């Protein structure tokens, strides 16, 4: 009789190098895994399904829900640090893990300010960080009253859970405020209202901080939003006055220290027409506005996140080129007939300098399925190339009319 041994990859893990657990199996975990490979570490993920981007590539997958404490415990066993690919893990579960000795980074006491927008706004306002006017909305009347006081339109936001434009409503008038706030509150969704800021553009200041207290900041970037979603990132933000850039970076460093953040944090900012900065959101995990650094900085955010949560010295954040543009590859309304593989062939034929990152995700409309980084000297040129490349990958169409099957 032959005995078949089930050999899992863990059987080979005698390197003594750390294992990090990431809750969530999306593209952020996938790219963190990529960085872990280079450092000789292992990234274990808690994923809901085996076909999620990170679950496809890492040998250590625990299948389960991030809302199930038993699954979280299973994912944490023997791991050196537990961290996140999204902010949706219930705080009470994280506190339970901490009480059981799990090294949760960032700690729940910091993460709460990325999970709960009302807690974040309140805390930031308390220590004088610039935020838009806001209020908690506990009744439809609260939303109407806020709009009447501050002027319409206003922005209504779910206190928890939304991202990429989900859980955010632009409200034009009192009637709409009453309807939407009424509906959401009836569904048990806690809300806040905030002033709609007249902005020049959106910026992001990314920072990393270790439990030891070391911190490092990348250059401030411009994030270009389309349909409530990040589409393009320009690093560094073009024509940003040095003083404003320094202000954004010191704000990010100060917030990281004051909130006790560990790992990477993105501080999403509004730049107003008068050259003022306001904090929009905080994300305590790798963030879309940091993808440029995978190719465009000495140390990218994914490696930096691992270094930070494991309390290693942090890496150099210096850019490798005068400008890097990241363009997201977003699922088209109708997936093109041409396969992704063929699109990639054509892209490489035309733009050999394109740095492509694909997430292994299904092509659903507007879904982030990959991104392209281009490095160079001239913002307009680099941006055009990056957007052209990303649009090609999404739609199998060149925005300049080039036909890949024509003779050129």
List residues near ligand AIR by CB under 6 A: 24, 26-29, 85-86, 163, 288, 367-368
Q: Where are the alpha helices (DSSP H) in 127-210?
A: 140-150, 174-186
Least distance between ligand AIR and beta carbon 24 (Å): 4
Flag whether 56 is marked binding: no
Considering the complex, state which of residue 24 and residue 106 has its C-beta at the smaller distance from ligand AIR. Answer: 24
CB of residue 333 to ligand AIR, shortest distance in Å? 16
CB of 303 to ligand AIR, least distance (A): 16
Is 74 annotated among the ligand-binding residues? no
Least distance from ligand AIR to the Cβ atom of residue 226, Å: 15
- Return all residues near 112 (Cβ < 8 A) that are at least 6 apart: 91, 119
**Annotation-wise, does 368 bind a ligand?**
no
Q: Which residue is nearest to ligand AIR (CB)?
A: 26
Least distance from ligand AIR to the Cβ atom of residue 312, Å: 23
Q: How far apart are CA 284 and CA 107, in angstroms?
A: 10
- H/E element holding 96? helix 91-99
- Contacts for 252 with CB less than 8 Å, ≥ 6 apart: 205, 206, 207, 217, 265, 267
Closest CA to 124 of 252, 246, 269, 255: 255
The nearer residue to ligand AIR, 123 or 368, going by C-beta atoms, is 368
Nearer to ligand AIR, 226 or 345 (CB): 226
Q: Are 324 and 295 in contact (CB under 8 A)?
A: yes
- Of 270, 234, 223, residue with least CA distance to 251: 270
Closest approach of ligand AIR to the CB of residue 88, in Å: 8
* Cα–Cα distance for residue pair 294/331, rounded to 1 Å: 22
117 is in an annotated binding site: yes
Q: What is d(CA 2, CA 47) in angstroms, rounded to the nearest whole number?
A: 34
Three-state secondary structure call for residue 109: helix
Cβ proximity to ligand AIR, 82 vs 154, nearer residue: 82
Q: Which is nearer to ligand AIR, 111 or 323 (CB)?
A: 111
Q: How far apart are CA 198 and CA 37, in angstroms?
A: 43
Nearest CA to 256 among 222, 213, 287, 288? 213
Cα 265 to Cα 246: distance, rounded to the nearest angstrom = 17
Query: What is the phi/psi pair of residue 388, to 5°?
Result: -65, -40
User: What minimum distance in Å lies between the beta carbon of 25 and ligand AIR?
Assistant: 6
Q: Which runs of consecutive H residues, i.e. helices, occur in 203-285?
A: 242-259
Instruction: Please state the φ and ψ torsions of residue 138, each to the nearest 5 degrees.
Output: -105, -10
- Specify the residue, 94 or 382, whose C-beta has the smaller distance to ligand AIR: 94
Instruction: Work out how close the CB of 179 gets to ligand AIR at its nearest, in angstroms, rounded to a whole number.
Output: 27
Nearer to ligand AIR, 85 or 303 (CB): 85
Contacts of 247 by beta carbon, 8 Å cutoff, 6+ apart: 277
**Between 164 and 397, CB nearer to ligand AIR:** 164
- Binding-site positions read 117, 157, 194-197, 202, 280-281
- Binding-site positions for ATP read 117, 157, 194-197, 202, 280-281
């Amino acid at each position: 009789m032959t005995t078949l041994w089930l050999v899992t990859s863990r059987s080979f893990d005698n390197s003594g190098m750390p294992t990090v657990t990431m809750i969530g199996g999306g593209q952020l975990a996938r790219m963190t895994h990529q960085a872990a490979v280079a450092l000789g570490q292992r990234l274990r993920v808690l994923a809901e399904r085996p076909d999620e981007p990170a679950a496809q590539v890492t040998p250590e997958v625990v299948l389960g829900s991030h809302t199930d404490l038993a699954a979280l415990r299973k994912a944490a066993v023997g791991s050196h640090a537990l961290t996140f690919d999204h902010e949706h893990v219930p705080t009470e579960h994280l506190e339970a893990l901490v009480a059981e000795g799990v090294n949760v980074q960032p700690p729940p006491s910091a993460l709460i300010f990325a999970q709960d927008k009302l807690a974040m706004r309140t805390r930031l306002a308390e220590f004088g960080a610039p935020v838009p006017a806001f209020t908690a909305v506990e009744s439809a009347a609260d939303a109407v009253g806020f709009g009447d006081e501050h002027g319409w339109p206003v922005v209504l936001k779910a206190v928890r859970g939304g991202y990429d434009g989900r859980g955010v409503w632009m409200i034009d008038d009192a009637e709409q405020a009453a309807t939407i706030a009424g509906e959401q509150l009836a569904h048990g969704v806690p809300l806040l209202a905030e002033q709609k800021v007249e902005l020049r553009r959106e910026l992001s200041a990314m920072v990393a901080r270790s439990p030891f207290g070391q911190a490092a900041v990348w250059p401030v970037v411009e994030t270009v939003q389309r349909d409530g979603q990040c589409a393009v990132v320009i690093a560094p933000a073009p024509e940003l006055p040095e003083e404003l850039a320094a202000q954004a970076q010191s704000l990010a460093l100060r917030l990281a220290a004051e909130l006790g953040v560990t790992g990477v944090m993105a501080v999403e900012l509004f730049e107003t027409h008068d050259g003022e900065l306001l904090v929009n959101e905080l994300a305590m995990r790798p963030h879309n506005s940091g993808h440029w650094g995978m190719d465009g900085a000495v140390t990218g955010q994914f490696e930096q996140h691992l270094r930070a949560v494991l309390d290693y010295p942090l890496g150099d954040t210096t850019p490798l080129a005068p400008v890097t543009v990241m363009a997201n590859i977003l699922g088209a309304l109708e997936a093109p007939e041409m396969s992704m593989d063929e699109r990639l062939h054509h892209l490489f034929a035309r733009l050999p300098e394109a740095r492509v990152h694909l997430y292994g995700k299904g092509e659903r409309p507007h879904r982030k399925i990959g991104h392209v980084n281009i490095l160079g000297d001239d913002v307009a040129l680099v941006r055009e190339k990056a957007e052209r490349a990303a649009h090609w990958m999404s739609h199998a169409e060149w925005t300049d009319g080039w036909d890949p099957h024509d003779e050129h």
